[in-house]
A and B are shown apart, each in its own frame.
Chain A
Amino acid sequence: MSSATERLPRLLALVPYLLSRPGVPVADVAADFGVTEQQLRKDLELLWMCGLPGYGPGDLIDLSFDSDAVTVTYDAGMRRPLRLTASEATSLLVALRALADTPGITDTDAVQRALAKVEDAVGQAQPTGVVVGLAGREGAVRPGVRETVQQALSRGRAVWMRYYTASRDRVGDRTVDPMRLVLVEGRSYLEGWCRSAESVRLFRLDRIDEIDLLDEPASAPEQAEPRDLAAGLFTPLPDQPVAVLDLEPDARWIAEYYPVDELAELDDGRARIRMRYTDRSWMVRLVVGQGGRASVHEPQDLADDVRRHAEAAVSRARHASAT
């Protein structure tokens, strides 16, 4: 958003904001409005020049500064902030409704109360045409896992867990310093510092098989930064192996479900995708499971692995039914 369209809403909100907080430090105001102190002082100087027709000393907005705190002494009739616009109301109410309908993320009761109050203040509640259902594929989260994760976060404690890593098809023990609980694309993840991997990792709650709260405090090192999830959960790395797969129409879901680098249309509704992966055995499992609806175009050794895996499976199944 350009500074032009941002400044006027801020100017209109500043006087009521200051009215409700006499003597607020300038630095706090700047932080709340997300601007520099320098910009805020320019805004205040501008407001000082504004007021009611007549524009004499008694008509202009009056602010008093006491060291670094500011107080409104005359508001020129700007006592309340402007109502929320339709899109502001939509974005806030849709989000609150989504949280209110999703137990387990936060205090649902507080969200319900906040929702009622915001709806009341916003007025003219119209259907927005946007609904967010946050609850998702949570059925498989084991009992107690979510509670333990929440306790660890609120008490700032480390956890021990037995975790299933799908890419390697391994279950292993980890000690983690929890940082936050995130809900992305309908799934909950614990983000934390994994002490054995020595990096920040996301752990899907439905893949935590056992979890225990430890007595020691969570102590993620300073360099541990929460990941920016704006670009998605999967961060492709340049050193990851690449597979080129040909997908029949029935297997196109792979391109929807996993991040792919490229998608090219082939004939008969088939598509060729380039995708990166972490573990070879995972890629073999994925392709074999498609039963020919997906095939490896490149590299050849991966295609060979897929074939060997399927041949061995057929042979073993014959053996099993023969005995």
Chain B
Amino acid sequence: MATARAERLVNLVLCLLSTRQYLTAERIRGIVPGYADAPSDEAFFRTFERDKSELRDLGVPLETGRNSAFDSADGYRIARRDYELGDIDLEPDEAAAVALAVRLWDSPEFTGAARGALLKLRAAGVEVDGGASPVVEPKVRTTEPSFPQLLTAVQSGRAATFDYRRPSDASGARRTIEPWGVVSWRGRWYVVGYDRDRGAARCFRLSRIVGDATPIGPSGAVHRPDGVDLLGLVVGDAQEPPASTPTRLWVAAGCAQGLRRKSEVIAESTVDGVPGDVVRLDLSFPESAASWIAGYGPDVVVLEPDTLRKAVTEVHLGVLDPDREAAR
């Protein structure tokens, strides 16, 4: 920012903070250094408009009003109470938590804003050591292309529409939702809201949105109902009911370490002339386990239950004859 402009804006803020009266543009033109240089009325008003919108963008609460009914033009002031950050006094461990929170984001939408917040907290006298490398460093990324669009839709209370592709249905379908929030869970982003087509609350994974999410309808039209637990909706959707199935497997000696580390060896056994172990393993998700176990190929053989043994064999036969898979 050019020095002259920065100086003028700082003076404008100081001037409007110090007055209880509303000051008209003309009055400000006469008082605040920099405006007197304007070559014409038009040039002054253009500059003044630009300055006002810059201050409002920064969050400066610029009030507009008239001191009395006899005033012919609007005036401006800044209420100190609305301008100033409240008192805040953080203990060292609390300040360390803030430093960690600021570093949580790895996101164009939040990283800069978090640093801006930190700047103000420091200005309020909080000692936050940002230089020390924390031993714990969580990171939250927002790389999904539709993230900023949906965040804007949520924050402006607008509906949004997008093409959504479910894993089993690659063609994709147009969805229109009234978004209540964006939620990160297990490192993935979801948008949660009222699905107009289904007539119910739904979660959508941002990575499955194809192309742009387009805000539609007027701002402020969408309101999140009271008592909605955004994270709860996502977690409820993402978690399958855990069931534990005891299984017995044969594992070739020295093989399938990933499986062995989750199992317990109960006997030695030779299969097909190959030495190995019989192991016991409790499976919570037998369906995905069939795929995992099948990946080990000849190194693992399912002994029981029969359903899992057949499922694994089906996977292998599917590899050898993909049409078989298609016919299932």
A interface residues with partner B (beta carbon < 8 Å)? 1, 3-5, 7-14, 16-17, 20-21, 31-34, 42, 46-47, 49-53, 55, 76-92, 94-96, 98-99, 105-107, 110-111, 113-115, 117-118, 120-123, 127-134, 136-137, 150, 153-154, 164, 166, 169-171, 180-187, 209, 226, 229-230, 248-250, 252-253, 256, 265, 269-271, 284-293, 295, 306-307, 309-317, 319-321, 323
A316-B84 in contact (CB<8A): no
Interfacial chain B residues near A106, Cβ < 8 Å: 96-97, 100, 136
State whether A117 and B90 are in contact (beta carbons under 8 Å apart), knowing that A78-B17, A88-B120, A291-B314 are contacts in the complex. Answer: yes
A120-B88 in contact (CB<8A): yes
B82-A83 in contact (CB<8A): yes
Q: Is the interface of A mostly helix, strand, loop or mixed?
A: helix
Cβ of B196 < 8 Å from any Cβ of A? no
> Interface size (B, Cβ < 8 Å)?
131
State whether A313 and B187 are in contact (beta carbons under 8 Å apart), knowing that A7-B1, A51-B14 are contacts in the complex. Answer: no
Chain B proximity of A67: nearest CB distance (Å): 22
A-B interface, 10 closest residue pairs, ranked by CB to CB distance from nearest? A185-B187, A269-B170, A291-B318, A20-B125, A285-B295, A292-B318, A186-B186, A183-B138, A289-B295, A291-B315
Which residues of chain B from 85 to 99 have a CB within 8 Å of any chain A CB? 85-91, 93-98
Interfacial chain A residues near B325, Cβ < 8 Å: 248, 291-293
State whether A127 and B122 are in contact (beta carbons under 8 Å apart), knowing that A82-B58, A290-B291, A307-B320 are contacts in the complex. Answer: no
A310-B98 in contact (CB<8A): no
Taken together as a complex, chains A and B put the C-alpha atoms of A33 and B167 apart, in Å, by: 46
Cβ of B294 < 8 Å from any Cβ of A? yes
A249-B167 in contact (CB<8A): yes
Seed contacts A51-B14, A88-B59, A136-B187; 20 additional CB < 8 Å A-B pairs? A4-B1, A17-B123, A32-B122, A78-B14, A83-B82, A84-B59, A85-B116, A87-B109, A92-B98, A95-B102, A99-B101, A118-B98, A131-B182, A166-B258, A183-B136, A230-B141, A250-B167, A291-B325, A310-B297, A323-B271
Please report the number of residue pairs spanning A and B whose Cβ atoms sit closer than 8 angstroms: 404
B137-A180 in contact (CB<8A): yes
State whether A132 and B140 are in contact (beta carbons under 8 Å apart), knowing that A12-B10, A127-B224, A269-B169 are contacts in the complex. Answer: yes
B7-A110 in contact (CB<8A): no
Taken together as a complex, chains A and B put the C-alpha atoms of A77 and B18 apart, in Å, by: 7
Chain B proximity of A104: nearest CB distance (Å): 9
Which residue of chain A has the shortest Cβ distance to B320 in the bound complex? Answer: A310
- Chain B CB within 10 A, most for which of A111, A123, A129: A129
Which residue of chain B has the shortest Cβ distance to A16 in the bound complex? Answer: B123
Taken together as a complex, chains A and B put the C-alpha atoms of A168 and B121 apart, in Å, by: 48
Interfacial chain B residues near A81, Cβ < 8 Å: 84-85, 119-121, 123-124
A317-B309 in contact (CB<8A): yes
Taken together as a complex, chains A and B put the C-alpha atoms of A31 and B131 apart, in Å, by: 9
Contact of A319 among B32, B179, B271, B302 (CB under 8 A): B271
Interfacial chain A residues near B184, Cβ < 8 Å: 98, 131-133
